[in-house]
Amino acid sequence: MLNIINRYSLIALVVFASGCSLFNDAYQVESRKIIDYLLADMPLPPDADIQKEPTVILGTGTGIAGRIVLMSNRSPASNLVFYGNSTQGSGWELVSSTVAEEIILVYTKEGRHATIEILRRSDGIGRLFGGENDSQITISVVHPGAIQEQNPYLALDENRIELEGTLAGRDSQ
């Protein structure tokens, strides 16, 4: 009897685990379709999985703004080479790069700006077996006219609010 319960528990666990995998695969496929449509000219590593939670996309076509977070099984160095090669023919022009522990690439195309951040995600397994470490890739894109005011955060500056209040009080006297 205990043996039968163990078998059914194992079968239920396998079915549950494969069901979660199916939902994740469906999310990846649907997300890729949307991102390919909205950001068709920005290359994405084929092995990278789109992370649901921190990804935010607003707008359409060349009016897109947002952040896409990807997890890649390739090392930061491999992803740096991927972006170096794949952006060549896509029209994105590299305007700035920082290559250190954190890799930051800044591209521009038709007034849009894209910042690609590549971070090492070490799980220890890659190092243990001599393989590559995983990467987290964050792509942030803004379109022309997305920033209309150079300092939109002035209202949050308490010192400035206090100063303006003092000046307004002086003017009313």
CA atoms lying within 13 Å on the CB side of residue 173: 6
Using one digit for the tens of pLDDT, what is the confidence trace for 16-75? 444 444 445 776 677 667 666 667 788 889 888 888 777 787 776 667 788 889 999 999
Any domain includes 169: no
Any domain includes 93: yes
Any domain includes 152: no
How does the average pLDDT of the chain come out, rounded? 75
Rounded average pLDDT over 1-10: 55
Nearest to 57 by CA among 148, 138, 153: 138
Provide the domain count of the chain.
1
Any domain includes 163: no
Any domain includes 164: no
Rounded average pLDDT over 96-106: 96
Any domain includes 158: no
Nearest to 138 by CA among 82, 70, 73: 70
- Please give the residue that has the higher pLDDT: either 92 or 124: 92
Any domain includes 172: no
Q: Given a cut of 50, is residue 140 above it in pLDDT? A: yes
Rounded average pLDDT over 156-167: 68
Domain of residue 104 covers 2-147
Any domain includes 170: no
